[in-house]
Amino acid sequence: MKSIVVSVALAAGLMVAGSAMAFSTGACKACHAVGKDVVGPDWARVAKAYGDEKTLAAVFKSGFKPEDRKIANAEPKYKAQEALMTGQFNTLIKGHEDEAATALFAAVKAGKI
């Protein structure tokens, strides 16, 4: 439990500075992994759902609207986290859309995040 609290606190701290910093997948690790679902879906599943980084970047650039979230729309446990996903997008990914999509696909290819 303590590690979860520390992870959430770290993610929250990174969110405050998110758009001012270069993109990093560090905060993403609080909710995502490659090879297993955590709080958020397995990044390999996300990569498969969008097909390529250009498509995912386009979804990010269009504002990561709830209706464009393929896995969240298909799985109620993720759809219920819509507000959390929007907040994370606005603080961590917005302004870094291409970098975020590239990092996700690179992590999947490497088999880790």
Burial class, 95, CB count within 10 angstroms (exposed 0-12 / middle 13-18 / buried 19+): middle
Domain count, the chain: 1
Residues 6+ apart with CB under 8 A from 35: 42, 44, 111, 112
**Predicted pLDDT at 42:** 95
| Residue from 70, 105, 106 nearest 85 by CA | 70
Q: Is the pLDDT of residue 97 over 80?
A: yes
d(CA 111, CA 59): 23
Domain of 28 in residue numbering reads as 2-110
**This prediction's pTM:** 0.78
pLDDT in tens, 41-80: 999 999 999 999 999 999 999 999 999 999 999 999 999 9
What is the three-class DSSP state of 94?
A: coil
